[in-house]
Amino acid sequence: MARISAGIATSHVPAIGAAIDNGRTRDEYWAPVFEGYEFVKEWVKDNTPDVVILVYNDHASALMLDIVPTFALGFAEEFLPADEGWGRRPVPTVHNHLELAAHIAEQLVIDEFDITLINEMDVDHGLTVPLSLVFGQPEEWPCKVIPLAVNVTQFPTPSGERCWKLGEALRNAVKTFPEDLNVQVWGTGGMSHQLQGTRAGLINAEFDQRFIDLLAHEPEELKYITRIEYLRETGTEGIELIMWLIMRAALGYGVEEKHRFYRVPASNTAVGHVVYEARS
């Protein structure tokens, strides 16, 4: 049977991808950010999954114009890195695990999640920057990736509570897949940031650190945070944190926190990162 063995959360700032692609990770500005990822790069060598379900948001690269899905599952054989206005990132093509993706797609609908399937799309920094942070710069990504895109752009976004339930549904879907697969769920985006208006540059380290404090062992505290509270406390783009809840819920009751990291800033954003192993 397939099992969810671990979860990773990380911010997915585009400038982090650019720093990797342009060989600037040792620059004075960037080195303290990348130091926070040394642990996961070592850890993943012994914990390489067969499949990552990668929860992210599309930044108006493939979605959000003609079709605005609340939850959408990537359902092509492969996904190219998107050209977001400066050319495609020089990173490998992302390959899907279609059998597991199909199983999840069916089980989610049965479980009351009316998920959208996307048969063709490119994947932007929201998906590729986390892969780069964890796996570095390989010729090919070492695992299959199922993209799960969440609308955090057009309000109302799904609630944190709804995201939590999606994580639980994902867990049930994976557990009922008959093939023996080691699956990780990654939640990406956040932490606090706002990319518009005169409040641009907002960072709320107190909120972010409390979020990290509670996520491993007291996540119930977090799932009822409302959209308006995310907006007020963490900025219009800080609400991406609801995607961390999907990851946490997918891991089940008990987790062991292997690593945590928090750093301000990367470009406009507070960078947060955790690594959990499932214990239930």
Q: Which residues are catalytic?
A: 125, 193
Smallest distance from other proteins to CB 118, Å: 16
CA angle 184, 188, 192 (to 5 degrees): 150
Cα 235 from Cα 251, distance rounded (Å): 27
Distance CA 273, CA 16 (A): 13
Dihedral sign, Cα of residue 21, residue 27, residue 31, residue 32: negative
Query: Which segment (46-54, 71-79, 84-92, 272-280) binds other proteins by CB under 8 A?
Result: 84-92
* Subset of residues 136 to 155 that bind other proteins, contact rule: CB under 8 A: 153-155
* Options 14, 36, 49, 167; binder of other proteins; rule CB under 8 A: 14
Among 25, 39, 47, 64, binds other proteins (CB under 8 A): 64
Residue type, 165: K
201 is a contact residue toward other proteins (CB under 8 A): yes
23 binds other proteins (CB under 8 A): no
Question: Phi/psi at 216 (nearest 5 deg)?
Answer: -70, -50
Q: Which is nearer to other proteins, 92 or 158 (CB)?
A: 158
Residue 280 is a binding residue for other proteins (CB under 8 A): no
Q: Which residues contact 129 (CB under 8 A, 6 or more apart)?
A: 12, 13, 14, 16, 17, 20, 188
- Site mask for other proteins (CB under 8 A), range 26-45, x = bound: --------------------
Q: Site residues for other proteins, window 222-241 (CB under 8 A)?
A: 224, 226-228, 231-233, 236-237
H or E segment to which residue 168 belongs = helix 160-175
CB atoms within 10 A of CB 122: 18
Based on the shown chain and the rule CB under 8 A, indicate whether residue 161 belongs to the binding site for other proteins. yes
**Position 275: which residue type?**
V
In the complex, least distance from residue 259 CB atom to other proteins, rounded to whole angstroms: 23
**Terminal-residue alpha carbon distance, the chain:** 15
Contact residues toward other proteins (CB under 8 A) are: 14-15, 59-61, 64-65, 68, 82-87, 153-156, 159-162, 192, 194-205, 207, 224, 226-228, 231-233, 236-237, 264-265, 267-268, 270
